[in-house]
Amino acid sequence: MPKPLSHFRIVDLSCVLAGPFSTQLLADFGAEVQKLEPPGGDPTRGWGPPFEDREDGQSAYFRCANRGKTTQPVDLHTEEGRTLLFDLLKDADVLVENFRSDSADRLGLGWKRLHAKFPKLILASIRGFASDVSASRRAGYDFIIQAESGWMAVTGEPEGHPMKVGVALVDVLAGLYCANGIQAALLHRERTGEALHIEVPLMEAALAGLVNVAAGALMTGEAPQRWGNAHPQIVPYQSFPCTDGNVAIGVGSDRQFEVLAMWLGLDLDTKPEWRKNRGRVQDRDAVVALIEARTRTRTVAEVLKVCEANAIPASPVRSVDEVLFRKSGELHNLLQPLFDSDTNTMVPTLATPVLLNGERACAALPPPRWNP
Residue of 215, 210, 198 whose CA lies nearest to 18:
198
Q: Radius of gyration of the chain from Cα atoms?
A: 24
Rounded Cα gap, residues 153 and 8, in angstroms? 41
Contact 55/100 with Cβ under 8 angstroms? no
Sign of the C-alpha dihedral computed for residues 341, 60, 27 and 12 taken in this order = negative
Rounded Cα gap, residues 302 and 297, in angstroms? 10
| Element housing 92 (H / E) | none
Assign 76 to helix, strand or coil. Answer: coil
Residue of 45, 50, 31 whose CA lies nearest to 95:
31
In the set 91, 102, 171, 269, the catalytic residue is 171
Is 342 part of the annotated catalytic residue set?
no
For 234, residues 6+ apart whose C-beta sits below 8 A from its C-beta are 250, 251, 252, 277, 281
Separation in Å, CA 303 to CA 10, 231, 245, 314:
50, 20, 11, 9
Rounded Cα gap, residues 29 and 31, in angstroms? 6
Burial of 342 (0-12, 13-18, 19+ CB in 10 A): exposed
CB atoms closer than 10 angstroms to residue 270: 7
Omega prior to 50 cis, within 30 of 0: yes
Contact 184/192 with Cβ under 8 angstroms? no
- CA dihedral 178→183→184→188, nearest 10 degrees, is 130
**Beta-strand relationship, 197-201 and 122-127:** parallel
| Element housing 240 (H / E) | strand 237-242
Give the angle subtended at the CA of 167 by the CAs of 166 and 173, to the nearest 5°.
130
- Residues with active-site annotation: 171
